[in-house]
Amino acid sequence: MDALLNEFISWKKENQPLYLDLKAHESLLFDRFYPVFTVLDHILQETTAKRMKLDSDLIKIFDVGLAFLNDQFESCKIYLSTNFHNDIHELMKYDSVINYVLFAEDVRYELEEKQRKYDKDTLDKLCDKLENIIDKQLPVDGNLGLYVDEQIRVICGDNELDFYGIIDIFSDIADTLGITLYEDEEIVIGKDI
């Protein structure tokens, strides 16, 4: 397990500047990584301080979370360097499209993991279309999210996909570990009494 913890420590050193840039720019990509990163960081802090003992469940959580971060964060870094010449502001114009690409790949993974039949051609075409928007830096249509949702329904076909991806799972794990991911802001309309 020490090797996994050390790998995460190294990952943080290498990737924290970009992670914090995504946070500062209120990126959808930050929101995507936040539950996984927070759970892994919590486990690291708690085990290092000897307040938490690693068991097989925590090792599995850590292993899956770190693999997710490595894979998806690396994709973002490739987009940043290849398509946007390391300009975070240019990447931010397309963070929603990158998020859709990563989501489509999450759906592919989930369907294959559950050994479900799905429309691979439509999924490939969707990913190609999204990649084309990024590669050519085309304008992002305001209805792109609706289009992606509709294509995902077509891709899944008759499968009743109750998609519960890694991000959702890690949000639940955070709750189980007593980690508050999101604070509810109280909004006062009218005069504060």
Domain range annotation of the chain = 1-88, 93-166
Secondary structure E strands in the chain: none
**pLDDT > 80? residue 103:** yes
Distance CA 110, CA 142 (A): 27
- pTM for this structure? 0.88
Task: Return mean pLDDT, the chain.
Answer: 92
Is the distance from CB of 165 to CB of 106 less than 8 angstroms? Answer: yes
Distance CA 171, CA 64 (A): 14
**pLDDT > 60? residue 186:** no
Distance CA 8, CA 61 (A): 13
Q: What average pLDDT score do residues 141-154 get?
A: 95
Q: What average pLDDT score do residues 69-96 get?
A: 97
Is the distance from CB of 66 to CB of 13 less than 8 angstroms? Answer: no
Q: What average pLDDT score do residues 62-89 get?
A: 96
Confidence of residue 19 (pLDDT cuts 50, 70, 90): very high
Q: Which of 41, 47, 108 is nearest to 72 (CA)?
A: 108
**pLDDT > 70? residue 188:** no
Is the distance from CB of 95 to CB of 24 less than 8 angstroms? Answer: no
The confidence score (pLDDT) of residue 128 equals: 98
Angle at 184 between CA 172 and CA 39, to 5 degrees: 30
